[in-house]
Amino acid sequence: MKKNMHVTGDRLWESLMEMAKIGATAKGGSCRLALTDEDKEGRDLFVSWCRDAGCDIKIDKMGNIFAVRAGEDNSLPSVMTGSHLDTQPTGGKYDGVFGVLAGLEVLRTLKDYDVKTKHPVEVAVWTNEEGSRFAPAMVSSGVFAGVFDLEYGHSRADLNGVTMGQELKRIGYDGNEEVGGRDLKAFFEAHIEQGPILEFEEKTIGVVTDANGQRWYEITLTGQEAHAGPTPMARRKDALVGASRIVQEVNRIGFDNEPNACATVGLLECRPNSRNTIPGEVFLTVDFRHPSDESLSRMDGQLREFAEKVAKEQGLEMKFEQIWYSHPVKFNDNCVAAVRKGAEVAGYPHMDIVSGAGHDACYINRVAPTGMIFVPCENGISHNEEEAATPEDLAAGCNVLLHAILDQAGVVEES
Ligand code: HGY
Ligand code: MN
Ligand code: MN
């Protein structure tokens, strides 16, 4: 392999900053919700860059994009990398985007060095990884991995009832390729850690060995709207009082299952949301995470029992639905070793780490040997417009990705 081959960090940084102009927020973050015009604009830019880098583009029926760089033998299964371009409403410039553009930088670097790999190399953009506009998260890599069927994927609707299938058509990313059902030699995803550990431990590379399991819930509490003035306290069916007790309990369950448990109520809608009407209905979501399936089940039981109790005591009707369960993930030993070797060869300080966040790699791990590469982010902050990472760390992660991909794709030695 070309001695001392490395990526061009400045070019990666420029591409990240160029992409960040699309859906840029006033506070320096990104807002490109899945399948919005901003998401389309970002996708179009990525596709144009990949074509310039000499790749073919394939789009499947979930709108997943695959930039394909031919190998010496294209009958061999591809080595794939990639992540997502959709963001949270007040997201950062690096979550997902780094993994996609690091993959692009690898393609550009292979072209620069005129390297021929044995296996084809692909960079993927997975549709709606965030699960913010359309729940659940990682739904399109989930369809690719056979966890969900295509109809389920297309029928995911946002809070206005607009479906993914409708939006894929509207933005022109309703591709023809079948979703999944094909072999991959390996899949790697580069991502910012989105937590504080690497920065605190002063490590440049996180060798991701495992990822948290997740359970997501939707709870609707229905009481009775009434006048805030004449209605005696004892006669109220106040849905927000019930919801606030559940919010407190979710937080307690998180602490009760420490270490490693995470428990969040991120979305709450109070109806009619009027200052002098007793709330008749509240819709809220719960997000549980834990690396142990047994603890995740225990948290599930604690929540169900408490919610039933609160609904009874507050005289509320309750609709309680677990809308998503993704079990804890153990990544492939060979891919983890390839990432660790890439860090060692390049001389980057590194450590093994468990991912608190979910990633498309968690689902692709079911159908291909998979590994992940983490780099630090400032103060461990993510899903926040202040999300930040250094050009040096991002280039380091991209170099490790380059070497992990070559480790699996094989290089055709020049004659
Ligand atoms: O929720 C997650 O872990 C990811 O950001 N979708
Ligand atoms: Mn992400
Ligand atoms: Mn995210």
* Greatest Cα pair distance in the chain: 90
The confidence score (pLDDT) of residue 413 equals 80
Parallel, antiparallel or unpaired: strands 205-211 and 350-355: parallel
Query: Per the structure block, which two tokens stand in for 284?
Result: 């809220």
196: Cβ contacts below 8 Å, ≥ 6 apart: 379, 380
Q: Which atom of ligand 1 is nearest to the CA of 138?
A: 6
Which runs of consecutive H residues, i.e. helices, occur in 64-220?
97-112, 139-144, 150-155, 164-171, 197-201
- The rounded Å distance from CA 248 to ligand 2 centre is 27
CATH assignment of 213-326, given 3.30.70.360, 3.40.109.10, 1.10.1740.10, 3.10.20.30?
Answer: 3.30.70.360
Alpha-carbon distance of 50 to 68, in angstroms, equals 9
- The Cα–Cα gap between 138 and 359 comes to 7
Q: What is the pLDDT of residue 3?
A: 59
Short-list 184, 214, 196, 199, CA closest to 124: 184
Contacts from 11-16 at CB under 8 Å and sequence distance 24+? 11/105, 11/108, 12/101, 12/102, 12/105, 12/391, 12/394, 12/395, 12/398, 13/391, 13/394, 13/395, 15/49, 15/101, 15/104, 15/105, 16/93, 16/94, 16/97, 16/98, 16/101, 16/394
**Ligand positioned closest to the Cα atom of 192:** 2
Report how far ligand 1's centroid is from the alpha carbon of 5 (Å).
33
* Res 4: pLDDT: 79
Q: How far is the CA of 90 from the centre of ligand 1 (A)?
A: 14
pTM (two decimals): 0.94
User: 86, 130, 288: which to mutate for ligand 1, most atoms within 8 A of CB?
Assistant: 130
Q: Quick one: tokens of 309?
A: 């109790």
CA-nearest residue, atom 5 of ligand 1 = 130
Q: Domain extents for the chain?
A: 9-212+328-409, 213-326
Which pLDDT does position 415 carry in this prediction?
Answer: 57
Collapse the DSSP code of 235 into the 3-class scheme (helix H, G, I; strand E, B; otherwise coil) and give the result: helix
Burial 257-273 (b: 16+ CB within 10 A, else e): beeebbbebeeeebbee
Q: How far apart are CA 230 and CA 178, in angstroms?
A: 61
Instruction: Tell which atom from ligand 1 comes closest to the C-alpha of 356.
Output: 3
Pocket of ligand 1 (CB under 6 A): 129-131, 137, 357-358
Domain topology for 9-212+328-409:
Aminopeptidase (3.40.630)
**What string of pLDDT tens digits covers the 415 residues of the chain?**
455 799 999 999 999 999 999 999 999 999 999 999 999 999 999 999 999 999 999 999 999 999 999 999 999 999 999 999 999 999 999 999 999 999 999 999 999 999 999 999 999 999 999 999 999 999 999 999 999 999 999 999 999 999 999 999 999 999 999 999 999 999 999 999 999 999 999 999 999 999 999 999 999 999 999 999 999 999 999 999 999 999 999 999 999 999 999 999 999 999 999 999 999 999 999 999 999 999 999 999 999 999 999 999 999 999 999 999 999 999 999 999 999 999 999 999 999 999 999 999 999 999 999 999 999 999 999 999 999 999 999 999 999 999 999 999 999 986 5
